[in-house]
A = this chain, B = another copy of it.
Amino acid sequence: MLNTNNKILVVGSVAYDSVETHAGKRVDALGGSASYFAIAASYFATPTVVAVVGEDFDRTHIEFFESRNIDLSGLQIKSGATFRWVGKYDPNNLNYRETIDTQLNVFAEFKPKLGAEHKSIDVFFLANIQPALQMEVLKQAGSKPKIVAMDSMNLWIENNKDDLLKLIPKTDILFLDETELRQLTGMKNLIEASKSIIDLGPRVVIVKKGEHGLLMISIDVENSFSLFACPALPVDPVIDPTGAGDSFAGGFMGHLASIGKNISELSSQDLRKAAVYGTIMGSFTVQGFSIEKLKIVSDNQIENRYNEFVNLTTIS
């Protein structure tokens, strides 16, 4: 359901990205996991962003977030510069990118702080930040939200695996790419690896495969095991893949927030629809640099792509 008032909270980064692809380049464009997530989710629900930026953060971005009904009461503005990332994609293969520079700036000291009004939000997304900070957010929340989802990355799997393994049982949905999942579990087979995560507590594992789509392994309301293969929606041309994964998560979690159920009440169909909405939001993001395409999407375009996806995958 589009445009509900149901709330969803994201903790993550708001950043300035400088990106070069075969299609051109942008300098200090709006980026960061929380930005992509919140904008994608804003088509389905009402997001709250918990993040930090520097004093250099442009007022027009604040105004844009507000125009999308995104609550910035959890956005800290600290003295110093905003987190910056500089990256370059292989012009012949967008699956490969090189990080040229990372300046954490104010993000280095980021301590997420939840206000009283944040603690009652039903759906949380812990974007890819240090596992200890993700845990801290859950502690501040007090009683467990209806749905908690998390993302992570190779850096934390290598260096903070113990923290991750303490965090995972407190979450319901895990987003990882196939390499990260194999690295985390030591298992090659993606389904076995996902089942081993489900044994730790989560009910849903999303295995992201970039341009090849994703596999979703889940336990539904009837406690049945379900496997969903979801291809990417082909778009042409792809301009910049940055933020596709967080936009996917935003569409996925935004749809779940719009339904309003507890994690254990979700049907296999609820989860599959969420995966399709996620796929659609990711498909918009890759069609422009930064949030250039994602921010101008219409509800009609989302529903048209939903039908396009159904056509792409229905056998008969």
Contacts and interface: CB of A to CB of B under 8 A. Distances in A.
A228 interface: yes
Interface of A: 92, 188-192, 209, 212-213, 215, 226-229, 231-232, 234, 236-237, 269, 272-273, 276, 309-316
Nearest to A234: B191
Contacts of A310: 315
Contacts of A226: 311
A279 to B, nearest CB: 11
Contacts of A228: 312-313
Give the number of times this chain occurs in the complex, counting copies. Answer: 2
A92 B310 CA distance: 35
A240 B311 CA distance: 33
A272 B237 CA distance: 26
Contacts of A273: 315-316
A310 B212 CA distance: 19
Given A276-B315, A310-B315, 10 more contacts: A189-B237, A191-B236, A209-B212, A227-B312, A229-B231, A229-B313, A269-B316, A309-B315, A313-B313, A313-B315
Given A212-B212, A231-B229, A231-B231, A236 B315 contact: no
